[in-house]
């Protein structure tokens, strides 16, 4: 992917996100208003820059974006529970699989992540919700689990998840998230690829 391609994607994202159709969630046929922006993980820094520019441009049009970074949220949850320092000390001594399972329990999307996101969304009015930091929390938090648990949390506003990898959609096989373009996550059927949305 070239810089020109990234610039075109940025312009497409801005055009879709600032459009009345997207903001009013038209044409969803009772589907959840979840969208995925899949991008090549090699371009993560460029995508971060694009995201910042898009948020600024949307703000200039009076469109408020609420962003939650899953990594930052996870650290916040662990610190609030008073376990952060103990985890940092424990990590070098514990087997990787045991440590992964420990964190997966502490950051369970249904028990902890969804309610923390609900609290963030309740902090004030917004028009669009950006979910970021997906790659940074793997394998402790899996993206499809988060999406499944947000269906009752993110209601009435569209959500865009920035996903470092591919979102593969097939009429026969369903849809699946492929993190970093290599790691097949479980299938997730309900989100739409933002790059395929009409302006």
* Distance set, CA 98 to CA 51, 87, 88, 137, 185 (Å): 35, 12, 14, 16, 20
Residue carrying the six token digits 């502490």: 106
Whole-model pTM over 0.75: yes
In 3D space, the residue among 25, 6, 27 whose CA is nearest the CA of residue 17 turns out to be: 25
Question: For residues 52 and 153, which has the higher predicted lDDT (pLDDT)?
Answer: 52
Domains held by the chain: number: 1
Contact 169, 193 (CB under 8 A): yes
For residue 37, the model assigns a pLDDT of 92
User: What b/e sequence results for 50-88 when a residue is b if at least 16 CB atoms lie within 10 Å of its CB, and e otherwise?
Assistant: bbeebbeebeeeebebbbbbbbebbbebbeeeeeeeebe
Q: Is the pLDDT of residue 188 over 60?
A: no
DSSP 57-125: HHHHTT--EEEEEHHHHHHHHHHHTT-HHHHHHHTTTS-HHHHHHHHHHHT-IIIIIHHHHHHHHTTS-
- Residues 46-59 have pLDDT tens digits of 999 999 999 999 99
Domain extent, residue 136, equals: 3-196
Contact 189, 177 (CB under 8 A): no
Q: What is the CATH number of the domain that holds 184?
A: 3.40.50
Q: Is the pLDDT of residue 197 over 80?
A: yes
For residue 146, how far is the Cα from the chain centroid? 8
- Residues 32-85 have pLDDT tens digits of 789 999 998 899 999 999 999 999 999 999 999 999 999 999 999 999 999 999
For residue 16, the model assigns a pLDDT of 96
For residue 180, how far is the Cα from the chain centroid? 14
């Amino acid at each position: 992917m070239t810089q020109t391609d990234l610039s075109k994607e940025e312009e497409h994202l801005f055009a879709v996100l600032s459009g009345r159709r997207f903001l009013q969630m038209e044409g969803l046929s009772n589907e959840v208003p979840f969208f995925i922006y899949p991008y090549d993980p090699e371009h993560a820094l460029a995508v971060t820059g694009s995201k910042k520019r898009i948020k600024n441009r949307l703000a200039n049009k009076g469109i408020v974006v609420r962003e939650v970074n899953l990594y930052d949220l996870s650290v916040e949850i662990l610190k609030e529970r008073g376990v952060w320092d103990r985890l940092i000390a424990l990590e070098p001594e514990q087997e990787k699989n045991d440590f992964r399972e420990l964190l997966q329990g502490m950051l369970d999307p249904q028990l902890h992540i969804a309610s923390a996101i609900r609290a963030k969304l309740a902090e004030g009015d917004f028009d669009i919700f950006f979910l970021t930091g997906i790659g940074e929390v793997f394998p402790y938090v899996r993206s499809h689990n988060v999406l499944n648990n947000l269906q009752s949390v993110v209601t009435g506003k569209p959500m865009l998840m920035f996903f470092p990898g591919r979102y593969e959609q097939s009429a026969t096989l369903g849809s699946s998230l492929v993190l970093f373009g290599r790691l097949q996550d479980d299938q997730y059927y309900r989100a739409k690829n933002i790059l395929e949305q009409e302006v």
